[in-house]
Amino acid sequence: MTKPQGLEVVDADGHVAESVEFFGELFQRFPDQMAVRSDTKLGVQVEGRPVPFFEGPGAGCPPDHGITTAAGVNPHSVDGVLANADTDGIDVMVLFPSFGLCVPAVQDPVLGEGIARAYNRWVSEFCAKGQGRLHAAAVVPVESVDTAVSVMGEAKELGLVCTVLPPALRDRNLDHPDLEPLYSAAEDLDMALGIHGAPGIHLPKIGVDRFTNYIQVHCISFPFDQMTAMTALVSGGVFDRHPRLRVAFLEAGAGWLPWFVERLGEHYESRGDWIPNGWRRPPAQYVEVGNVWITCEPDEGTLPSFVQALGDRCVMFASDYPHWDGAWPRATTELVEHARGRLSEESLARVAGANARAFYGL
C-alpha cells in the first residue's frame, strides 16, 4: 500500500494466534481441566466447556472461520506477523489475545492464574523477537483481584504494555469496590487497561443471549459490552477515585462514543446525584483529561465527525488483524483513504500512530 510519507502507523488492537506449543504446555500442566475439543478441528475444552462455543444463545465464532481468508495471512509466527504488517503499512503492533481473552471466565482460580501467567510469558517472548515492532497486552484472572494484581505486576516486568479487562465480571460490574486494588495497582504501574470482550468465551452475555446466530450476536456484542463497561467506570466514579487511569474501549468502533458521552451527560446533569459515590464531573471531561480512549475502524465514515465532537487525541487506529472482520491487508489504506481531505495531516498522524504511542507508553 501507499501511505503518506512520514506517517507512522501503530495498530492499537491487533491479535496474536497462540501457538501449538503454548497449548501443549497448558495441556501438560492441567490435564484434568484442559483438552483438545473432540467436536471440531480447532478449539479447546476448558473446565469441560468448549472455547469458543458457537451454538446456542450468545454463540461465538466457529473456530475455523475466525481468521481472514485473505491470501498470505500468517499470524502463527513472528516473521509472518511482521511480513503481514509490512504488507499493510503498519509500523508497530499492539497484540491482544485470541484464546487468552477467556481467562476472566475461568472458574478455578488456580487454573486462571496458571493460564494467565503462561500466556503473558509466552506473548512477551513472542514480541521480544519482533525487532521492537511488536508489543502485547496481558491477561489477568480478574475475578481473583489480589492474584490479578500480582499477575499484572509480573506482566509489567515482562514488558507488556496493557492489561485486558472484560466488560463485566460474573456478578460484579467494573465499578465494584472489590476492584479498587486493581485500579490502584494499574495507576502505580502506569499500566494502561483495555476493555475487550468477545462472544463465545463464557464472559457475561450482555444482550447477546437474545440471539443464537453468530452474526447477529456479533452485531451487538462489542458495542453493548463497551457501553456497559463505560457506564460502570464513568458513572461509578472509578476515574474520580483513580484519576491517572487510562482505559481503552476496544473493537466497537468509535462512532458510538460521542452519542454515548452525550447520553451519559444528560443523565449526569439531570439525575447524577442518584448514584452515591459516583461521577463528580460531566462525562465528556473524562475524555478530555485522558481517562477514556477508543479505537476506530479503518473505514469508519464517522471519524471526521468524531474528531469534531471529541477531538483527535483519544482515538486510535486498530486493524483487528488477523480476524475475519478486520481489513487486512488494506487496513492502513482504508484509514488513509477515508481520512483524505476530511482530517488534517496532524489529526491523521495522531489517529494513525501518535495516540497509541501515548496510550500504551511506547
Per-residue pLDDT, 80: 96
Strand partners, 36: 44
Within a domain: 308: yes
Domain-embedded: residue 48: no
Q: Do the domain assignments include residue 34?
A: no
3-class SS at 337?
Answer: helix
**DSSP type of residue 65:** G
pLDDT, position 2: 67
Backbone angles phi, psi at 44, to 5 degrees: -135, 170
Is 107 part of a structural domain of the chain?
A: yes
Strand partners, 316: 295
1 within some domain? no
CA distance 336 to 342: 10
Write down the pLDDT at residue 4.
Answer: 85
Q: Indicate whether 3 pLDDT > 90.
A: no
How many structural domains compose the chain?
1
Q: What is the pLDDT of residue 1?
A: 53
Contact indicator for 302, 351 with CB cutoff of 8 Å: no
Based on the number of CB atoms within 10 Å of its own CB, is 148 exposed (0-12), middle (13-18) or buried (19 or more)? buried
Residue 163 within any structural domain of the chain: yes
Per the structure block, which three cell numbers stand in for 292? 477514556
Instruction: Give the DSSP letter of residue 323.
Output: B
Averaged pLDDT for residues 318-338? 94
Does the residue 239 lie in any domain?
Answer: yes
Q: Which residues contact 279 (CB under 8 A, 6 or more apart)?
A: 234, 235, 236, 237, 240, 268, 272
Mean pLDDT of all residues in 65-91: 95
Residue 44 belongs to some domain of the structure: no
Taking the CA atoms of residue 323, residue 326, residue 329 and residue 331 in that order, the dihedral angle to the nearest 10 degrees is -150
- pLDDT, tens digit (0-9, with 9 covering 90-100), for 225-244: 999 999 999 999 999 999 99
> Can you give the pLDDT at residue 163?
98
Residue 136, H or E segment: strand 134-138
pLDDT digits (tens, 9 = 90+) for 258-279: 999 999 999 999 999 999 999 9
DSSP code of residue 100: G
User: Quick one: CA dihedral 318, 324, 330, 335, positive or negative?
Assistant: negative
Q: 156-169 pLDDT, tens per residue? A: 999 999 999 999 99
Print the domain residue range for 334: 10-17+70-360
Phi, psi of 355 (to 5 degrees): -65, -40
At residue 40, the pLDDT reads 72
Q: Where are the beta strands (DSSP E) in 7-68?
A: 10-15, 34-36, 44-46, 49-51
Q: Is the predicted pLDDT of residue 343 greater than 60, yes or no? A: yes
Q: Tens digits of per-residue pLDDT, 169-220?
A: 999 999 999 999 999 999 999 999 999 999 999 999 999 999 999 999 999 9
Tell me the pTM: 0.96
Instruction: Give tens-digit pLDDT for 19-53.
Output: 999 999 999 999 999 999 877 767 899 999 999 99
Q: List the CATH number of the domain containing 209.
A: 3.20.20.140
Q: What is the DSSP letter of 350?
A: I
Beta bridge partners of 95: 14, 136
